[in-house]
Homo-oligomer: A and B are copies of this chain.
């Protein structure tokens, strides 16, 4: 009598080949892919996959809390299967996004918090990745 460990396997969710392929691609993925990137990667495994299914699945997983929608890129959503508290390092040059696995606790003085009940935070660090640093030096 095992509890299902993953969304998509929970009661009321069907174990479709499309979902399994998307989940397999996402599992442990740290590249913060967009819907389009997910579609292209997964359609290679499951030829029948449609774009609409990618969106459906991503929305279902997000609502179920099994996936985090990142609002980091001004032009599209990116998806992160790591739902634990962590942060991101963004290369301002090539736009690569890298995980910062630490939790960061920041205390805001009450005056600053303006009576908000604070539940969490997300830090985006902006910088230049090693590869881009090298490029810049060569120019």
Q: Report whether A114 and B133 are in contact in the complex, using a CB–CB cutoff of 8 Å.
A: no
Q: Report whether B108 and A106 are in contact in the complex, using a CB–CB cutoff of 8 Å.
A: no
Q: Report whether B126 and A119 are in contact in the complex, using a CB–CB cutoff of 8 Å.
A: yes
Alpha-carbon gap, A114 to B128, bound state (A): 10
- For the complex formed by this chain, how many copies does it contain in all? 2
Q: Report whether B122 and A123 are in contact in the complex, using a CB–CB cutoff of 8 Å.
A: yes
Per-residue interface assignment for chain A, residues 87 to 126, with 1 indicating a CB less than 8 Å from any chain B CB and 0 otherwise? 0010110000010111010101000111111111111111
What are 30 pairs between A and B in contact, CB < 8 Å? A71-B71, A71-B72, A89-B108, A89-B113, A89-B116, A89-B118, A101-B112, A102-B112, A106-B125, A108-B125, A113-B125, A113-B127, A114-B129, A115-B129, A115-B130, A116-B127, A116-B129, A116-B130, A117-B128, A117-B133, A118-B125, A118-B127, A120-B125, A120-B126, A120-B127, A121-B123, A121-B124, A122-B124, A122-B126, A123-B123
- Please list the residues of chain A having a beta carbon within 8 angstroms of any beta carbon in chain B: 69, 71-74, 77, 89, 91-92, 98, 100-102, 104, 106, 108, 112-130, 133
